[in-house]
Amino acid sequence: MANKPYTVAVIGGGPAGLMAAEVLSRGGARVDVYDAMPTVGRKFLMAGKGGMNITHSEPFEDFFTRYGARSAEIKPLLDAFGPDALREWVHGLGISTFVGSSGRIFPTDMKAAPLLRAWLHRLRQTGVRFHMRHRWCGWAGESLRFETVEGQVEVHADAVVLALGGGSWARLGSDGAWVPVLLARGIAVAPLKPANCGFDVLWSAHFSGKFAGQPLKSVTVSFADSAGNLHIKQGDVMVTASGIEGGLIYALSGLLRDQIEAAGSAVIHVDLLPGKTPSRVLAEVDHPRGSRSMSSHLQSRANIKGVKSGLLRELLPRADFDQPERLTAAIKSLPLKLIAPRPLDEAISSAGGVRFADLDENLMARPGLFCAGEMLDWEAPTGGYLLTACFASGRRAGLGALDWLNNKQEKT
């Protein structure tokens, strides 16, 4: 670096921004991190409340495919800083990790706060400065413009890394307010859409009132996409007042969202008894029930009760309960129509963002302007994939900014 260090502004204090700041400060730059919230890492801390899932241990050739249509763009970032490197980086902060039964990787204490505290301490030791309650509003000429509690301020930086998050969980800082700012700058941005989200179903008031908040345990959900590919996931589905949600649904959410956008709705099929063959279910359903009610019969013979029984009542014509073949077909493949994804602000993450076609291999959108994290046009399921790509893209943007600054110096 030059005798007078370059100044780099990192806007956004989530994992991508903090990783960019770390790379830049270690490379000799003078780094200032700006964030609209009172403290950094708010969404990171919220995501860790149920157990901080950092990354995943599955083989890399499977790992990078989890980014779907953007796998080709995300893979080079992961080649340079993938799940193994991320885990070692966490260990370097003094935080031990373990692999859970699902293959997900967690800190031993399952918490996000100790990791973040150790990281911020290390960043401050390398000279990174933090400016909180600074909401970025774009540019004033060549200077960055921020709204603060003390009024508007303008800041000059030799390079800028934007890591502003997507459009979900606005209360934690990811409100997507940067979209019109970048569009006005001529930077291509794909519309932000909900990802890892729930979906609306036209429940009756009776079903919604009785079963909202209850899980459909151990079911299989299948969905045939527009290309005819069948996607099958097994796990739990949570019934909500407006529809359904949960990890199993989140894993299919991108496909379901796109199908609804194209056709107005999407139909999934729920197998309420995935551990039993159709012939076995038919035998149980067709068994003489004597004077027992159908509900009692299904509970005693097939262990269908509670919300599963209620779902059958909600979706099946009454006459089908007297037809064993139809009832069996419904138990094994109950069609459920989804009419809309839940709003973007309720989603765990968002799809859309700065298009990769408008970025170079170092995630530079315009000379000296780099983008990283969830504000890029990609999505991934939960399970550590979101965080891993945020860290990896922040690292690439930080290294890219250093390269650009050094090349610029050599030419002057």
Task: Compute the mean pLDDT over every residue in the chain, rounded to the nearest whole number.
Answer: 95
Burial (CB < 10 A; 0-12, 13-18, 19+), residue 157, is: buried
* Mean pLDDT score, 37-41: 95
The pLDDT of residue 1: 43
Sequence-distant (≥ 6) Cβ neighbours of residue 389 within 8 angstroms: 67, 74, 77, 78, 378, 380
What one-character DSSP code corresponds to residue 342? P
Tell me the pLDDT tens digit for each residue of 259-314. Answer: 999 999 999 999 999 999 999 999 999 998 888 888 999 998 999 999 999 999 99
Residue with tokens 């004077």: 291
DSSP 22-43: HHHHHTT-EEEEE-SSSSS-HH
Calpha distance 111→134 (Å, rounded): 27
Calpha distance 231→55 (Å, rounded): 23
pTM, whole model, 2 decimals? 0.92
Residue 242 has which token pair? 């407006």
The pLDDT of residue 3: 55
The order of strands in the sheet holding 334-338 is 334-338, 266-271, 215-224, 230-239, 243-245, 199-200, 340-341
User: Structural domains in the chain?
Assistant: 7-195+349-411 (3.50.50.60), 199-341 (no CATH)
Rg (alpha carbons) of the chain, rounded to whole number: 25
Instruction: Say if CB 1 and CB 406 are below 8 A apart.
Output: yes
Helical (H) or strand (E) element with 190 = strand 189-195
The pLDDT of residue 2: 44
* Mean pLDDT score, 199-220: 97
pLDDT band for 8, please (50, 70, 90 cuts).
Answer: very high
- 135 forms beta bridges with 147
DSSP 219-288: EEEEEE-TTS-EEEEEEEEEE-SSEEESHHHHHHHHHHHHHHHHHS-EEEEEES-TTS-HHHHHHHHTS-
